[in-house]
């Protein structure tokens, strides 16, 4: 392992990171589009994609957990202030919790409607064995939407932190998650 690669995430970790990032942003935009759909039928079709991507995000996050067990991530830069270390670790923990719980909550809520989740028309996740409860499902979806807002705030914090380290500190931290450039100590 070269000196630069020991400071850099593995290719698999990078791929999973960027796939999840793209999927989260796409899913947010899809949910927004569904809110503004002209008909219930159009909204349902749009939300089908949202559910499919949500399940895909869950699968990618579970793969990422598994990969982290096999391949430890590189340490944070020794130049980080204590508050930066705490914010980075706390943000990532909340990311992982939300990216795991949100798809499960969506599946649970759909199960309360007694509905399976079609994943891109390839297969269906059957409803979980829970009692029908449309009002409970609505409450779960409201919590899911609130969690989505928290997730978007964390994405903004993550991007702002990356910009700070790239443009102000010029510490090369961004290259830990890119296959090019030189990460620094």
d(C-alpha 20, C-alpha 125), whole Å = 20
Q: Domains of the chain: which residue ranges?
A: 3-177
- Give pTM, 2 decimals: 0.92
d(C-alpha 119, C-alpha 48), whole Å = 8
Domain 3-177 has CATH 1.20.950: yes
d(C-alpha 140, C-alpha 179), whole Å = 39
Output the six-digit token pair for 143: 């919590």
In tens digits, what is the pLDDT along the chain, a chain of 185 residues?
444 458 899 999 999 999 999 999 999 999 999 999 999 999 999 999 999 999 999 999 999 999 999 999 999 888 899 999 999 999 999 999 999 999 999 999 999 999 999 999 999 999 999 999 999 999 999 999 999 999 999 999 999 999 999 999 999 999 999 999 988 75
- The DSSP secondary-structure symbol of 113 reads T
Output the six-digit token pair for 40: 């219930």
Whether the Cβ atoms of residue 36 and residue 80 lie closer than 8 Å to each other: no
User: What own/partner pairs with CB < 8 Å and gap ≥ 24 does 80-84 have?
Assistant: 84/161
Query: Closest by alpha carbon to 173, among 119, 160, 39, 128?
Result: 160
Instruction: Please tell me the predicted confidence (pLDDT) of residue 4.
Output: 46
């Amino acid at each position: 392992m070269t000196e630069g690669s020991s400071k850099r995430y593995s290719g698999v970790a990078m791929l999973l990171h960027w796939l999840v990032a793209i999927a989260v942003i796409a899913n947010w935009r899809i949910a927004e589009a569904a809110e503004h759909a002209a008909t219930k039928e159009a909204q349902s079709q749009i939300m089908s994609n949202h559910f499919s991507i949500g399940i895909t995000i869950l699968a990618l996050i579970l793969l990422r957990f598994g990969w982290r067990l096999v391949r430890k991530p590189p340490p944070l830069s020794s130049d980080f202030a204590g508050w930066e270390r705490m914010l980075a670790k706390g943000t990532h923990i909340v990311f992982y919790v939300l990216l795991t719980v949100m798809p499960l909550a969506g599946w649970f809520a759909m199960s309360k409607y007694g509905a399976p989740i079609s994943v891109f028309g390839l297969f269906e996740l059957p409803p979980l064995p829970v009692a029908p409860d449309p009002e409970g499902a609505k409450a779960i979806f409201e919590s899911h939407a609130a969690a989505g807002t928290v997730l978007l705030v964390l994405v903004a914090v993550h991007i702002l932190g990356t910009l700070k380290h790239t443009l102000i500190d010029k510490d090369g931290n961004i290259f830990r998650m890119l296959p090019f450039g030189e990460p620094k100590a």
